[in-house]
Amino acid sequence: MTVGDTKPLEVAVVGAGITGLTLAAALRRAGIGVVVYEKTNAFGDIGAGIQLAPNAVRLLHRLGLADALAAVSVRSTAIEIRDGHTGRVRDLISLDDCENRYGAPYYLLTRFDLHTLLASQLPNDVVQLGKACVSVTESDAVVQCRFADGTGAEADVLIGADGIRSAVRGARMDDRPDYSGYSVYRGLVDANGLPISFTEPRSVIWTGTDRHFVCYPVAGGRMVNFVATVSAQAWGAESWSEPGEVDDVLDAFADWDSLRPLIEAAGTVTRWGLHVREDGLDWTTDRTALAGDAAHPMLPFTAQGAGQGIEDAVALTAALTRHGDNVPLALQAYEQARRPRAVKVQTLSRDMARTFHSNATEPQQHPEARLASDSLDWLFNHDAEAL
In the annotation, is 216 catalytic?
A: yes
How many residues are listed for the chain in this entry? Answer: 387
DSSP letters along 289-311, please? EE-GGGT----GGGS-HHHHHHH
Q: Buried (b) or exposed (e) across 17-49, using 16+ Cβ within 10 A?
A: bbbbbbbbbbbbebebbbbbbbbeeebeebbbb
C-alpha radius of gyration, the chain, whole number:
21
CA quadruple 234, 280, 132, 298: dihedral sign? positive
Distance in angstroms (rounded) separating the CA atoms of residues 376 and 387: 20
C-alpha to C-alpha distance for 214 and 201, rounded to whole angstroms: 13
> What does the alpha-carbon distance between residue 318 and residue 325 come to, in Å, rounded to a whole number?
13
Which amino acid makes up residue 212?
H
Task: Specify the amino acid at residue 344.
Answer: K
Residue in 321, 312, 325 with CA at minimum distance from that of residue 284? 312
- Other C-beta atoms closer than 10 Å to the C-beta of 83 total 18
Q: Quote the CA–CA distance of 42 and 29 in Å, as a whole number.
A: 25
Distance CA 327, CA 346 (A): 27
Other beta carbons less than 10 A from residue 96's beta carbon: 13
User: Among the options 37, 106, 182, 216, which is catalytic?
Assistant: 216
Q: Write down the number of H helices and E strands in the chain.
A: 12, 21
Cα separation, 136 vs 219, in Å, equals 39
Kindly list the catalytic residues.
Answer: 216
